[in-house]
Amino acid sequence: MRCDLIAYTPEPELTVAAAARLCYAAIGAQQLQERMERPDVERLIRRLSDSGHWSPFEHASFTFAVEGVSRSLTHQLVRHRIASYSQQSQRYVSEKNFAFIIPPTIAEVPGALAEFERVMAETTAAYERLSAMGIPREDARYVLPNACETKIVITMNAHGLLNFFAHRTCQRAQWEIRDLALKMLTLVKTVAPLLFEKAGPSCETEGVCREGSHGCGRLV
């Protein structure tokens, strides 16, 4: 898996702080663009996150390019609706010799790995044979596995990301999307540490587990 932060709102923390300031102070648009001192930005953003006032966080957007992930992952990912996606199309792009993602539980068991690789080879061959018979890509792809590698560009704002991280960095999240979430979190923390100071599963951020009887037991 590779995940790059390819674009984001410049000075994301300052942008969020400026928007929040407008809500609560009798200032104008001009002052809004004046420099805020770092301690003021910090105090303001911490006040927002302490009071769960996340809407100003939406003014900062982050765009990621992701590759080396499975279509299992992206099918889950795109269920997050407050986000924008552009994904490599299996209708238009050929999947000859497609790459595939191997789950760690399979990689660790030699017999399972051999079985897995055998099926991938079979599937690759079948996709090519169907293509050679004139079956269009959009139909030949029906034989392609969930493991098939895909690429996707994701844009989420900081509010959406916090929600995404709350669900997908949880120990109970599926391993591949959790890996992605942790990588995305590392990247955004580098450029906007304050905005993501409280990012993570709810056991860490609120001391509450929402997995019920399926929880990992960490909070017991």
Non-local CB neighbours of 122 within 8 Å, separated by 6+ positions: none
Integer Cα distance of 26 and 3 in angstroms: 41
Least Å from the CB of residue 143 to a second copy: 5
Nearest 10 degrees: Cα torsion 114, 116, 120, 123: 110
Structure tokens given for 37: 């001192």
Q: Which is nearer to a second copy, 129 or 218 (CB)?
A: 129
Nearer to a second copy, 155 or 171 (CB): 155
144 Rama class: left (phi>0) / alpha (psi -120 to 50) / beta: beta
Q: At closest approach, how far in Å is the CB of 58 from a second copy?
A: 3
Q: Bridge-partner residues for 156, per DSSP?
A: 62
Contact present, 202 and 166 (Cβ < 8 Å): yes
Query: In whole angstroms, how close is the CB of 109 to a second copy at the nearest point?
Result: 6
40/206 with CB nearer a second copy: 206
Check if 168 is active-site: yes
Q: Which of these is catalytic: 71, 141, 168, 178?
A: 168
Minimum distance of a second copy from residue 45's CB (angstroms): 13
For residues 67, 69, 72, 78, the Cα torsion angle rounded to the nearest 10 degrees is -40
Active site residues: 168
